[in-house]
Amino acid sequence: MPLDPFFADRLRSDRRHWFRQATQRLKSRLGWPWFMRPAADEGVRSATSAEKDRARRGAREDTRDAIRAHEPHPSQKRAVHRRQARAWDRKELARSGTPGPKVRAEEHVVPVDGYPDVRVRVYYPADAWDIAAEGPIPACLMFFGGAFRIGGIDYATTDAANRRRAADARVAIVAVDYALAPEHKFPTPVEQGVAALRWLFDRATALGIDRERIAVGGTSAGGNIAAAVALANRDRDGLPIRLQLLEVPVVDLTGRHIDFAASRALGIPMPIMARELISVSRTYLPHRRDAKNPLASPILAASLAGLPPAAIFTAEYDPLRGEGAAYAAALRAAGVEATAVQYQGMVHDGAIYTAVVPTARRWQADVVTALRSLHA
Listed by start position, the domains of the chain span 49-96, 99-375
The CB-side HSE value for 63 (13 A sphere, CA atoms) comes to: 16
Residues noted as catalytic: 220, 318, 348
Are 326 and 299 a contacting pair, CB within 8 Å?
yes
How far apart are the C-alpha atoms of 323 and 30, rounded to whole Å? 37
**Cis amide prior to 187 (ω within 30 degrees):** yes
Helix (H, G, I), strand (E, B) or coil at 211: strand
**How many C-beta atoms surround the C-beta of residue 27 within 10 A?**
14
The CA distances from residue 292 to 79, 192, 248, 333, in Å, are 30, 20, 20, 20
Cα separation, 89 vs 83, in Å, equals: 10
pTM of the model: 0.86
pLDDT tens series, the chain, 376 aa: 889 888 988 887 766 665 666 667 666 666 645 444 444 444 445 556 676 667 667 666 665 665 455 567 888 999 999 999 999 999 999 999 999 999 999 999 999 999 999 999 999 998 766 776 778 999 999 999 999 999 999 999 999 999 999 999 999 999 999 999 999 999 999 999 999 999 999 999 999 999 999 999 999 999 999 999 999 999 999 999 999 999 999 999 999 999 988 888 888 777 877 888 888 999 999 999 999 999 999 999 999 999 999 999 999 999 999 999 999 999 999 999 999 999 999 999 999 999 999 999 999 999 999 999 999 8
**Is CATH 3.40.50.10320 what the domain over 99-375 is classified as, yes or no?**
no
Beta-ladder partners of 178: none
**Other C-beta atoms within 10 Å of 328: how many?**
22
pLDDT of residue 65: 61
Instruction: Specify the pairing of strand 137-143 against strand 118-123.
Output: unpaired
Across the chain, where does the E strand assignment appear? 105-110, 118-123, 137-143, 172-177, 209-219, 241-247, 310-317, 338-347
